[in-house]
């Protein structure tokens, strides 16, 4: 197999969200796609008690040659995929840099402190402003709304994977997504996943073009 | 995601560290595997269970880690290859048997796989199991990447058979739960049949009884074995050096810290100045091999998690060899170059190297840093809590109500499982649970608290325990509480599986790790046989649960057991299936004027219930709500309505 072309080696991706949003699943699907295209992928993640209603973050290191640390050094993310909007800001604070690209699902999941009234959840326009100011390229989606229309809000994670592929920064495409999904899922769920993927892919293409 | 059974030798696949360890065991022809679930170790037994086949591979979730090790040892004594798996504190549980097992030795290759959790990402301790290898005088191996996790596990069986003793493989969360590329090897044909040869003399390792006596003689033999292992380690391919011939700084490291060290050196562009000696055989360290590398440098940094385990061994070796290797400057945990608690990461290692060599790690551009500071206040904390639909939230709600009505400042002794969050996080458990220690310690402590009445203590003493924890370690403490007539209300929060670690089976279920039908051991019947009052209920029935608790508190006099049974909201039978469609009747919700002080959102705190600030009314988040219906029982205005959800 020829060595895959990467914009940077290692290329550092963070997928972030809240426990229950299918974050771990999304990182597995994306990393499996990368391995199939000849990359070395290292995923770092934590699950167990750490996922119960808390922030969940997966680090994916993509390289043509070797395994990298399962923890990305601070300030070194190349692409952030946020399935929840304030999680985008949380990750930017630790791993952001002027060159980072970021995809954000704008459906909030309110922390308990916000529900009780002890903490404030920032307004969507404030989140957009901060994310835009802290990144080189940003795209915003309503992935959960799209997924609800498909019958299952958790498919928001696959909408976001579609967007990652649509962004065109990784050596992966729709075909390899389909291969991975068909192998890893019951046949009854494949169509919904392909549909969610297509929605994300189309949405990011429009957004990036509109950006310039 | 699991190892694809269709993919065979030579295929390059993405595997979690735990899956790679399982694959290594399969490639070694492991025949018996036993463990107790515990993050970050659980996926090893789960993966193996998918390959179970009569006469080829037997896999079980044992009642606890000590039993798991005993089950695996029986297989080894009978000539089979076996493996026992646990998280770090599980080794403490198994250690009494282990102490005797290392004396008797083993026959078929036998491994102890321990997965530690530096930083306590999913633990209530930061225990380090590596010290058991030294304490018990058995060889220790630590994989430093995913391919190596597989190869090392495979080879460890050979080593165990060569020295006729158990070998320990230690992983950490960032290996076990990380994933990377692994090239698969071949799966062997079935190995031999089981027979326990035991008609020989005590001194016959082939056919004698398996015992640790005569103790001193067996101990001496064991030490011969460990010396043999050290000799084998001198030429092990799992130890490797990369860097300049005479490095200005030598890093000695193992496990995930090797990847952090590589990354740190790369961040600092210090490849020409720093060498990395990665050890895979970390007890005993191979003395001649390490000595050779110590001779090539003046400065040594030891990078490891969590305690200075390698550091102490290297320093002892350096002291013994000082005439030949000369004086060295050591950096590591003891001198504070690296922190001695919490997990490491590439940034901490880069900062340490930077301080030693006078290199500044790359910094964030100032303008960007300024922007980060500007937006820093926007991000609200996200505290962990019980899932929407979790039976534990309902159980603790009733406990809170009952304790408030009782008014004697009663408290709950917590235990290990999701329900431990009642102690750890304010958002869960309503400030009712006040102690949290080892598996089964809730009822053990309660047994003690429950005897303090004669010293004037009149606080009601409650203990909670999950179903899996009940079988693991609660039974002896419960027997003690009953026998000593301690004043305790013991709540078994039975959610029908080892929920926190991913629904592994336990003795209360009629199915085992391999999916076979097995006899179930009934919790109520066990408690009943101890002669105490046992009440069963549904935690979702809030009023009944509260009333039962108050009644039991009033009765006093010895141990009372309340079993609250309701499946976990994430269990396969419940997940993504709503029993009720919830809605808030805005005409009934009195909002801020209610006087309930927003019981629903300020006190009950289910993530599925929101407060609409504009309307000043409660609201259901339909994406989050699990449809359990419990919140309809807490609203004094009966504004939270539930109707049966249509079957999907």
Domain boundary among the residues B233, B258, B286 is at: B233
pLDDT averaged over every residue in chain B: 95
Please answer yes or no on whether A28 and B179 come within 8 Å at the CB atom: yes
Please answer yes or no on whether B380 and A93 come within 8 Å at the CB atom: no
- The whole-number average pLDDT for the span B544-557 is 95
Q: Give chain B positions within 8 Å (CB) of A90.
A: 379, 382
Q: Give chain B positions within 8 Å (CB) of A31.
A: 14, 179
For residue B647, pLDDT over 80 is answered with: no
pLDDT one-digit tens code per residue, B346-365: 999 999 999 999 999 988 99
Residue B38 vs residues A47, B142, B171: alpha-carbon distances, Å: 11, 19, 13
Domain check: are B96 and B123 in the same one?
Answer: yes
Mutation site for B-interface testing, chosen from A115, A118, A143 by largest number of B Cβ within 10 Å: A115
For residue B34, pLDDT over 80 is answered with: yes
Q: Give chain B positions within 8 Å (CB) of A145.
A: none
Q: Quote helix, strand, coil % in chain A, to nearest 5.
A: 50, 15, 35
Mutation site for B-interface testing, chosen from A29, A49, A56 by largest number of B Cβ within 10 Å: A49
pLDDT at B224: 96
Asked if B590 and B635 touch (Cβ cutoff 8 Å), the reply is no
Tokens 């458990």 appear where? B429
pLDDT at B425: 72
Q: Would B2 be classed as within a structural domain?
A: no
- The whole-number average pLDDT for the span B48-65 is 97
In what side-by-side order are the strands of the sheet with B329-331? B240-242, B274-278, B249-253, B299-303, B329-331
Where is B309: in which H helix or E strand? helix B309-320
Asked if A113 and B380 touch (Cβ cutoff 8 Å), the reply is yes
Q: Give chain A positions within 8 Å (CB) of B591.
A: none
pLDDT one-digit tens code per residue, B197-225: 999 999 899 999 999 999 999 999 999 99
- The CATH number for A11-211, chosen from 3.40.920.10, 3.40.50.300, 3.30.450.80, 1.10.15.40, is 3.40.920.10
Domain boundary among the residues B565, B592, B607 is at: B565
Asked if B34 and B111 touch (Cβ cutoff 8 Å), the reply is no
Assess B379–A contact: CB distance below 8 Å, yes or no.
Answer: yes
For residue B263, pLDDT over 90 is answered with: yes
Q: Would B382 be classed as within a structural domain?
A: no
Assess A70–B contact: CB distance below 8 Å, yes or no.
Answer: yes
Q: Give chain B positions within 8 Å (CB) of A117.
A: 598, 601-602, 611
Mutation site for A-interface testing, chosen from B122, B366, B375, B592 by largest number of A Cβ within 10 Å: B375
* DSSP classification of residue A122: P
pLDDT at A206: 67
| pTM metric for this prediction | 0.96
Q: Give chain B positions within 8 Å (CB) of A113.
A: 380-383, 427
Residue span of the structural domain in which B612 resides:
580-644
pLDDT one-digit tens code per residue, B156-186: 999 999 999 999 999 999 999 999 999 999 9
State the DSSP string of B513-560. TTS-B-----HHHHHHHTT-EEEEE-TT-HHHHHHHHHHHHHH-SSEE
Cα of A49 to nearest chain B Cα, Å: 5
Please answer yes or no on whether B178 and A111 come within 8 Å at the CB atom: no
pLDDT at B10: 92
Where is B216: in which H helix or E strand? helix B215-233
pLDDT one-digit tens code per residue, B93-124: 999 999 999 999 999 999 999 999 999 988 99
Please answer yes or no on whether A112 and B427 come within 8 Å at the CB atom: yes
**Tally of CA atoms within 13 A in the half-sphere of A93 that contains its CB:** 14
Q: Strands B580-584 and B609-612: what pairing? A: unpaired
Please answer yes or no on whether A69 and B12 come within 8 Å at the CB atom: no
Assess B233–A contact: CB distance below 8 Å, yes or no.
Answer: no
The enclosing domain of B262 has a CATH number of: 3.40.50.920
pLDDT at B131: 97
Identify the CA nearest to B482 among candidates B427, B431, B526: B526
What is the ipTM, given to two decimal places? 0.95
Out of B4, B601, B610, name the one closest to residue A183 (CB). B4
- The whole-number average pLDDT for the span A159-182 is 96
The three state secondary structure string of A34-95 is HHHCCCEEEEEECCCHHHCCCEEEEEEEEECCCCCCCCCCCCCCCEEEECCHHHHHHHHHHH
Segment 163-192 of chain A within 8 Å of chain B by CB: 183-184
Where residue A49 falls among pLDDT bands split at 50, 70, 90? Answer: low
Where residue B497 falls among pLDDT bands split at 50, 70, 90? Answer: confident
State the DSSP string of B117-175. -TT-TT-S----THHHHHHHT--EE---SHHHHHHHHHHHHHHHHHHTS-EEEEEEHHH
For residue B611, pLDDT over 60 is answered with: yes
For residue A212, pLDDT over 50 is answered with: no
Question: Cα(B210)–Cα(B73) distance, rounded to whole angstroms?
Answer: 10
Across A53-57, A176-180, B273-277, least confident range? A53-57
Cβ pairs A/B, distance under 8 A:
194
The enclosing domain of B120 has a CATH number of: 3.40.50.970
Domain check: are B336 and B420 in the same one?
Answer: no
Q: Give chain B positions within 8 Å (CB) of A68.
A: 259, 262-263
Please answer yes or no on whether A115 and B611 come within 8 Å at the CB atom: yes
- The whole-number average pLDDT for the span B614-622 is 92
Domain check: are B259 and B205 in the same one?
Answer: no
Domain check: are B199 and B145 in the same one?
Answer: yes
Domain range annotation of chain A:
11-211
pLDDT at A53: 74
Percent of chain B at pLDDT exceeding 90: 87
Is residue B296 helix, strand or coil?
coil
Q: Would B366 be classed as within a structural domain?
A: no
Please answer yes or no on whether A45 and B178 come within 8 Å at the CB atom: yes
Domain check: are B593 and B549 in the same one?
Answer: no
Extract the tokens encoding B373.
């500071």
Assess B216–A contact: CB distance below 8 Å, yes or no.
Answer: no
For residue A4, pLDDT over 80 is answered with: no
Question: Cα(B5)–Cα(B8) distance, rounded to whole angstroms?
Answer: 7
How far is Cα of residue B323 from the mean position of the Cα atoms in its chain?
44
Where is B20: in which H helix or E strand? helix B17-27
Cα of B57 to nearest chain A Cα, Å: 24
* Structure-derived torsion over alpha carbons of residues B366, B372, B374, B375, reported in degrees to the nearest 10: 170
Question: Cα(B424)–Cα(B125) distance, rounded to whole angstroms?
Answer: 12
Domain check: are B60 and B161 in the same one?
Answer: yes
Where residue B566 falls among pLDDT bands split at 50, 70, 90? Answer: very high
pLDDT at B151: 98
Please answer yes or no on whether B379 and A52 come within 8 Å at the CB atom: no
For residue A51, pLDDT over 70 is answered with: no
Q: Would B397 be classed as within a structural domain?
A: yes
Extract the tokens encoding B172.
């950490």
Please answer yes or no on whether B607 and A92 come within 8 Å at the CB atom: no
Please answer yes or no on whether A41 and B181 come within 8 Å at the CB atom: yes
Please answer yes or no on whether B384 and A49 come within 8 Å at the CB atom: yes
Beta bridge partners of B617: B612
Domain count, chain B: 4
Assess B380–A contact: CB distance below 8 Å, yes or no.
Answer: yes
Is residue B603 helix, strand or coil?
helix
Asked if B165 and B106 touch (Cβ cutoff 8 Å), the reply is yes
Q: Would B372 be classed as within a structural domain?
A: no
Asked if B107 and B76 touch (Cβ cutoff 8 Å), the reply is yes
Domain check: are B190 and B322 in the same one?
Answer: no
Domain check: are B316 and B419 in the same one?
Answer: no
pLDDT at B186: 95
Please answer yes or no on whether A109 and B624 come within 8 Å at the CB atom: yes
Q: Give chain A positions within 8 Å (CB) of B180.
A: 40-43, 67
Domain check: are B84 and B172 in the same one?
Answer: yes
Question: Cα(A193)–Cα(A177) distance, rounded to whole angstroms?
Answer: 10
Helical axes B215-233 vs B146-163, angle rounded to 10°: 140
Segment 105-164 of chain A within 8 Å of chain B by CB: 107, 109-117, 119-122, 126-127, 130, 133-134, 144, 148, 152-154
Domain check: are B549 and B472 in the same one?
Answer: yes
Q: Would B380 be classed as within a structural domain?
A: no
Tokens 């291969």 appear where? A179
């Amino acid at each position: 197999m020829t060595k895959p072309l990467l914009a940077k080696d290692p290329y550092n991706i963070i997928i972030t969200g809240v426990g229950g949003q299918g974050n771990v699943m999304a990182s597995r699907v994306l990393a499996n796609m990368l391995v199939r295209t000849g990359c070395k992928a290292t995923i770092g993640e934590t699950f167990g008690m750490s996922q119960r209603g808390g922030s969940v973050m997966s680090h994916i290191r993509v390289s043509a040659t070797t395994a990298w640390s399962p923890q990305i050094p601070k300030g070194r993310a190349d692409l952030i995929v946020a399935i929840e909007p304030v999680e985008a800001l949380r990750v930017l604070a630790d791993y952001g840099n002027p060159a980072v690209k970021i995809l954000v699902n704008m459906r909030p999941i309110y922390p308990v402190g916000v529900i009780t009234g002890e903490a404030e959840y920032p307004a969507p326009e404030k989140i957009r402003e901060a994310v835009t100011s802290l990144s080189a390229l940003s795209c915003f989606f309503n992935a959960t709304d799209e997924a609800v229309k498909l019958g299952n809000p958790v498919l928001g994670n696959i909408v976001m994977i579609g967007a990652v592929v649509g962004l065109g920064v990784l050596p992966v495409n729709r075909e390899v997504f389909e291969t991975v999904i068909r192998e890893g899922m019951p046949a009854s769920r494949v169509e919904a996943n392909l549909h969610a993927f297509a929605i994300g892919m189309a949405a990011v293409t429009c957004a990036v073009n509109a950006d310039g | 995601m699991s190892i694809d059974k269709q993919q065979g030798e030579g295929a390059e696949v993405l595997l979690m560290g735990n899956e790679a360890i399982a694959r290594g065991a399969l490639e070694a022809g492991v025949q018996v595997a036993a463990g107790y679930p515990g993050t970050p170790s659980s996926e090893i037994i789960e993966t193996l269970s998918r390959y179970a086949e009569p006469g080829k591979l037997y896999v079980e979730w044992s009642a606890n880690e000590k039993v798991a090790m005993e089950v695996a040892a029986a297989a080894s004594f009978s000539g089979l290859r076996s493996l026992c798996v646990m998280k770090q504190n599980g080794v403490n549980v198994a250690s009494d048997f282990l102490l005797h097992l290392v004396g008797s030795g083993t026959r078929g290759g036998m491994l102890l796989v321990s997965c530690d959790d530096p930083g306590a990402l999913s633990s209530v301790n930061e225990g380090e199991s590596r010290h058991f290898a030294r304490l018990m005088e058995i060889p220790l191996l630590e994989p430093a990447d995913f391919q190596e996790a597989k190869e090392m596990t495979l080879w460890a069986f050979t080593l165990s058979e060569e020295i006729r003793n158990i070998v320990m493989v230690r992983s950490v969360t960032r290996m076990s739960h990380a994933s990377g590329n692994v090239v698969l090897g071949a799966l062997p044909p079935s190995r031999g049949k089981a027979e326990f040869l035991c008609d020989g003399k005590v001194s016959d390792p082939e056919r004698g009884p398996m015992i640790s006596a005569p103790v001193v003689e067996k101990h001496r033999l064991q030490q011969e074995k460990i010396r043999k292992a050290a000799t084998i380690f001198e030429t092990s391919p799992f130890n490797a050096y990369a860097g300049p011939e005479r490095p200005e700084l030598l890093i000695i490291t193992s496990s995930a810290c090797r990847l952090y060290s590589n990354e740190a050196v790369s961040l600092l562009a210090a490849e020409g100045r720093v060498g990395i000696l990665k050890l895979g055989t970390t007890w005993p360290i191979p003395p001649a091999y390490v000595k050779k590398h110590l001779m090539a440098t003046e400065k040594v940094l030891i990078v490891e998690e969590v305690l200075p385990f390698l550091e102490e061994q290297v320093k002892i070796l350096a002291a013994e060899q000082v005439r030949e290797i000369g004086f060295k400057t050591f950096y590591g945990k003891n001198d504070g170059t690296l922190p001695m608690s919490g997990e490491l990461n590439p940034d901490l290692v880069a900062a340490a190297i930077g301080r030693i060599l006078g290199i500044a790690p790359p910094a964030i551009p100032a303008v960007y840093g300024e922007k980060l500071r500007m937006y820093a206040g926007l991000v609200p904390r996200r505290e962990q809590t019980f899932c929407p639909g979790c039976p534990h939230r309902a159980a603790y709600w009733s406990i809170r109500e009952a304790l408030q009505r009782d008014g004697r400042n009663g408290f709950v002794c917590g235990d290990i499982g999701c329900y431990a969050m009642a102690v750890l996080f304010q958002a869960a458990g309503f400030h009712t649970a006040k102690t949290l220690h080892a598996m089964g310690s809730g009822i053990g402590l309660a047994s003690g608290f429950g005897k303090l009445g004669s010293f004037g203590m009149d606080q009601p003493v409650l203990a909670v325990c999950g179903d899996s924890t009940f079988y693991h370690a609660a039974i002896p403490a419960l027997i003690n509480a009953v026998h000593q007539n301690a004043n305790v209300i013991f709540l078994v929060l039975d959610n029908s599986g080892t929920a926190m670690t991913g629904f592994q089976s336990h003795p209360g279920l009629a199915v085992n790790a391999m999916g076979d039908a097995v006899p179930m051991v009934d919790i109520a019947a066990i408690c009943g046989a101890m002669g105490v009052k046992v009440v069963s209920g549904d935690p979702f029935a809030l009023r009944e649960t509260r009333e039962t608790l108050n009644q039991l508190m009033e009765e006093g006099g010895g141990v009372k057991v309340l079993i609250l049974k309701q499946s976990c909201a994430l269990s396969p039978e419940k997940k993504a299936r709503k029993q009720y469609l919830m809605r808030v009747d805005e005409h009934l919700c009195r909002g801020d004027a209610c006087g309930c002080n927003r019981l629903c959102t300020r006190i009950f705190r289910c993530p599925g219930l929101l407060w609409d600030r504009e309307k000043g009314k409660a609201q259901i988040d339909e994406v989050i709500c699990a449809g359990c219906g419990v919140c309809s029982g807490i609203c004094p205005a009966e504004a939270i309505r539930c109707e049966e959800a249509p079957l999907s």
